[in-house]
Amino acid sequence: MSRNKERGMHKVAEILRSAGIRPTAQRIAIAQYVLREADHPTAEDVKAHLDRVFPMVSTATVYNTLNALVEHGLIRAIKFPHADAAIYDQKMHHHYHFLDEPSGRLYDVDPADVQVKPQLGATCEITEVDVLIRGRLIDPGLSGPSTTVSPT
Amino acid sequence: MSRNKERGMHKVAEILRSAGIRPTAQRIAIAQYVLREADHPTAEDVKAHLDRVFPMVSTATVYNTLNALVEHGLIRAIKFPHADAAIYDQKMHHHYHFLDEPSGRLYDVDPADVQVKPQLGATCEITEVDVLIRGRLIDPGLSGPSTTVSPT
DNA sequence: AAGACAATTTAGAATAGTTCTAAAACTTGA
DNA sequence: TCAAGTTTTAGAACTATTCTAAATTGTCTT
Ligand SMILES: [Mn+2]
Ligand SMILES: [Mn+2]
Ligand SMILES: [Zn+2]
Ligand SMILES: [Zn+2]
């Protein structure tokens, strides 16, 4: 079992260090938010949060750090067709998303609950299939699709 | 059978008129390109084409016209996660896309060749499922996935 | 054929999201 | 304690798209 298989047990500074990112104060605050507190935040969301909990972080540092986290495999950047800004996803396992269109909120969907079987023949090789399910929650009081992937 | 069921039989000016768009010279040139000649062009592609075939069309008119065509249901605007610019698609029927990552080219995929069956339970209602298949063509000399939807 | 009025087109400014630049601040480790 | 490298920062730059307001074009009435 690799050192960070159970990432939840480590302090964020440890996670950064063992991913090869020097844990500065700004980076720890940003990583703490995207890895532990936020749900599919945009860079703007991250900046807004940091403006509350950290004395002065620049937009450049927010983007630099998010890009570093992506490059070192700690989070993913995803762009959806309904919005211009990228969202950052701390769940690194393969999963899809459900968009509740009235609210704009995203929910994780377990790929086991979506059968995707392309039959494109032999002339192409598939590396990945992106799926975005759009619709609306019937009872927005509930937490999302019944198949929501629980946070790791 | 509606007047434009067989759109290929009509002149582009006719199509515009019967969609409720006044067929100006600029609009005819733009519509001719996106409805008949181009394949998933961006606004920039359309502008570049018009700069060759039309004496001076502004970027604003390109966007205005593309937006009008979208609003009147003649084309669709689609955003994909791998690119910032929207592409415009003259195929209005339900279909998916295959992205050949080495070349960046998009190919249409018949939805009959992709099974997508979300089982999300009763708490949400699905209105649409977006699918983008990413991979690479084995023989880039061929025209795309064997299931490519032939142009209407 | 004019004049009036509306519709269209245009150049350029504005906007949003993100990256770049180059200087300041901080860290490290002789 | 200093030099060297690293990180952070403000603001400029960039891309895709929309907005603004003025010029042009088209239509209708006389
Ligand atoms: Mn958000
Ligand atoms: Mn293109
Ligand atoms: Zn997710
Ligand atoms: Zn298409």
Instruction: Identify from A130, A147, A148 which residue to disrupt to test chain B contact, counting B C-beta atoms within 10 A and taking the largest count.
Output: A130
Instruction: Name the H helices within chain B.
Output: 12-19, 25-32, 43-53, 59-71
Rounded to the nearest angstrom, the distance between the alpha carbon of B79 and the centre of ligand 1 is 19
First to last CA, chain A: 16
Question: Is residue A141 within 8 angstroms of chain B, CB to CB?
Answer: no
B127 CB neighbours in chain A (<8 A) are 101, 134-136
Tokens matching residue B138: 């084995």
Distances (CA, A) of B71 to A22, B7, B55: 50, 18, 26
Instruction: Identify from A123, A127, A128, A149 which residue to disrupt to test chain B contact, counting B C-beta atoms within 10 A and taking the largest count.
Output: A123
Residue type present at position B46: V
Q: Is residue A2 very low, low, confident or very high in pLDDT (cuts 50, 70, 90)?
A: very low
Q: Does the structure show a pLDDT above 70 at B65?
A: yes
pTM (2 d.p.): 0.87
H helix and E strand count, chain B = 4, 6
Least reliable range by pLDDT among A136-145, B2-11, B19-28: B2-11
Asked whether A79 and B81 are in contact (CB, 8 A), the reply is yes
Contact flag B133-A131 (C-beta cutoff 8 Å):
no
Question: Is residue A79 within 8 angstroms of chain B, CB to CB?
Answer: yes
Q: Does the structure show a pLDDT above 80 at A13?
A: yes
Tokens matching residue B132: 């983008």
Query: How would you class B8 by CB atoms within 10 Å of its CB: exposed for 0-12, middle for 13-18, buried for 19 or more?
Result: exposed
Q: Among all chains, which residue has been given the structure tokens 């060749």?
A: B113
Q: Is residue B97 very low, low, confident or very high in pLDDT (cuts 50, 70, 90)?
A: very high
Q: What is the pLDDT of residue A140?
A: 57
Residue type present at position A92: M
The spacing between the Cα labelled CA in A24 and the C1' in D20, in angstroms, equals: 45
CA distance A117 to A98: 19
Domains and CATH numbers, chain B: 3-78 (1.10.10.10), 93-152 (no CATH)
Q: What is the pLDDT of residue B152?
A: 36
Phi/psi of residue B23, each to 5°? -80, 85
